[in-house]
Structures are given as structure tokens and as C-alpha cells.
């Protein structure tokens, strides 16, 4: 189907329509989005845990960082959910893992190392192993909490001496 022929339907579904190339290019761009989203989610989890362990109120850190270059949808939407221990899905861990597996398989075929993606995939695997496949992707914080023996939300930790 020609893009111009489909544009009225696409415009009803979304406000930004970008032609990315031949058949299959849209799926590749979707995987690019999942790479960026999952790695940003990991960065947000690390920032929250770092603040928590440092004795900084993670809510204040989120407020401060959201006004600068570190701002992201994940920081503004998922981070507060992590602090509330709200792991209800907007997008499920199991679905995220499917997309990350597809991206890693494609990267492997291209002989393209994506170490950050491989790491976040493994961390999500730990969430899945703990029964979190149907939780939202903000549950990624649980894997980092387990590694660092820290939990976000509630009281923050004392700064390390």
C-alpha cells in the first residue's frame, strides 16, 4: 500500500508519520526505539538507586534532573512509579524482552556488538526469573535493587561512609 494512499488512516492513528524506507524499515526503526527506551530505562533505574544509596531523596533528584539534559519520558513517568512500587504494566517486561531479543538477533546477524542492549536484556531476564514477566518495564529497577541490596521508595539509605 502506498504511503500517500494510507496517510489518512495513519494520521488518525498518530500525529507524526515518518517514511523510513522500504518494506521492513519501519520494524527496524521500532527496534531502534526499543533499544533507546530500554537503555534510558536502565539509566533512570541506576540514577534512582544511586540517589537512594547516597541519602538523596529520589523524588527531589527526579525533579532536579527532569529540568536538564537528563530529562526523559522514563524519568518523568516510570521513575515515580518505581518509587511508589507501582509495577502495573504500561508495557510488559515480557513484550520488552521479545523486542530486545529481535534486536539482538538482528545485531548478531550484522556482526554488530550492542553491549548495552545485551546488559539490559540480561537484567530484564532476572526480572522475568523472579516472576515479573507481566509487570511493567519499570520493574527493571528490581534487578538493580537485588544487585545493590537496596530498595527505592520509603526511607532513603544513609550515605556510605
Catalytic residues: 30
Q: Which of 132, 60, 149 is nearest to 97 (CA)?
A: 132
The separation between the first and the last C-alpha atoms of the chain, rounded to the nearest angstrom, is 63
Cβ neighbours of 20 (radius 10 Å): 12
Q: Which residue shows C-alpha cell 524519568?
A: 75
- What are the φ and ψ backbone dihedral angles of 2, each rounded to 5 degrees? -65, 140
Cα angle 129-132-135, degrees, rounded to a multiple of 5: 160
Whether the Cβ atoms of residue 120 and residue 41 lie closer than 8 Å to each other: yes
Residues 1 and 151: their CA atoms lie apart, in Å, by 50
Amino acid at each position: 500500500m502506498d504511503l500517500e494512499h494510507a496517510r489518512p488512516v495513519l494520521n488518525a492513528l498518530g500525529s507524526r508519520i515518518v517514511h523510513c524506507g522500504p518494506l521492513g524499515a519501519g520494524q527496524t526503526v521500532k527496534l531502534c526505539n526499543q533499544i533507546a527506551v530500554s537503555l534510558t530505562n536502565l539509566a533512570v533505574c541506576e540514577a534512582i538507586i544511586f540517589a537512594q544509596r547516597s541519602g538523596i531523596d529520589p523524588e527531589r533528584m527526579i525533579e532536579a534532573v527532569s529540568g536538564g539534559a537528563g530529562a526523559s519520558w522514563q524519568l518523568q513517568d516510570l521513575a515515580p512509579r518505581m518509587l511508589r512500587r507501582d509495577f502495573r504494566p504500561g508495557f510488559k517486561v515480557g513484550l520488552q524482552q521479545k523486542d530486545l531479543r529481535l534486536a539482538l538477533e538482528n545485531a548478531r546477524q550484522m556482526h554488530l556488538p550492542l553491549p548495552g542492549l545485551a546488559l539490559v536484556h540480561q537484567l530484564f531476564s532476572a526480572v522475568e526469573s523472579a516472576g515479573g514477566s507481566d509487570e511493567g518495564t519499570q520493574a527493571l529497577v528490581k534487578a538493580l535493587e537485588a544487585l545493590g541490596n537496596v530498595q527505592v521508595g520509603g526511607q532513603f539509605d544513609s550515605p556510605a561512609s
